[in-house]
Amino acid sequence: MAIGQILSNLWAAFVEVLRSMFKDPSVFWFLGPVLLFWLILEIYFSKYKKEELGWNTALGNGLSVFWILIVCIKYLFENHMANFEWQKFIALMVILVYAFFIIINSFSHKLKENVSFLLASPTITYYLSGVAILWTYGELKITIWVLIVLILCYVLVLIFELILKRLIKGKETSLGDTNFGKESEFKETDLNNQENNFGGGFGGNLGGGF
């Protein structure tokens, strides 16, 4: 296939993605809050660069995607399945399994933090949520060229995220590095050391115990 034909197909798919956002303006009642919350989180983590995602936030992101996917699947089955398409249903189920995996992993802490927080990052979860909404409510047709364009758009989102982090002047959180949302590092040895400092339990060097 000639380069010109490839570029033409990519452009047509890109126009189709944009058109799906405006076919029915009411889609922005659903898509708008997702984009707004996503932008707020991106600005927040760009401003407070030292803060990590945290297990609780990862869980919240997984639950948000799960809820959006349930609403989208519900839409396919409304009006006696008038909006149902197998391609859309399978695609939504794949993202739903992904969201369910994030939720389970956030509870179990099976994967390492850097991997878990990457999979549950706002960039990935909110982007997939937006795509799911366009597939469902925006009537975006799923083709190989549309999928390629969506991947390219995600790369552009990552570039925008890097630019945003450079433009926004970061600073430390006012509460310092609290590690809120992480697993506790409290160990049994710390408890034993505290007991030794008191003389081996109640009493100890203070009077021989009870």
Q: What is the pLDDT of residue 97?
A: 92
Q: What is the pLDDT of residue 54?
A: 80
pLDDT beyond 90 at 116? no
Structure letter (DSSP) for residue 202: S
The per-residue pLDDT for range 149-161, each reduced to its tens digit, is: 999 999 998 888 8
Per cent of the chain over pLDDT 70 is 78
Q: Which residue has the higher pLDDT, 178 or 10?
A: 10
Distance CA 118, CA 46 (A): 15
Q: What is the pLDDT of residue 85?
A: 84
Q: What is the pLDDT of residue 193?
A: 53
Answer whether 69's CB lies under 8 Å from 92's CB. yes
Per the prediction, the chain carries an average pLDDT of: 78
Distance CA 141, CA 136 (A): 9
Q: What is the pLDDT of residue 171?
A: 58
pLDDT beyond 50 at 188? no
The per-residue pLDDT for range 62-97, each reduced to its tens digit, is: 898 999 999 999 988 887 787 888 888 998 999 999
Question: Which pLDDT band holds residue 41 (cuts at 50, 70, 90)?
Answer: confident
pLDDT beyond 80 at 101? yes
Q: What is the mean pLDDT of residues 1-13?
A: 85
Give the predicted TM-score (pTM) of the model.
0.71
Q: Where are the domains of the chain?
A: 8-173
Answer whether 155's CB lies under 8 Å from 148's CB. no
Q: What is the pLDDT of residue 49?
A: 66
Structure letter (DSSP) for residue 180: T
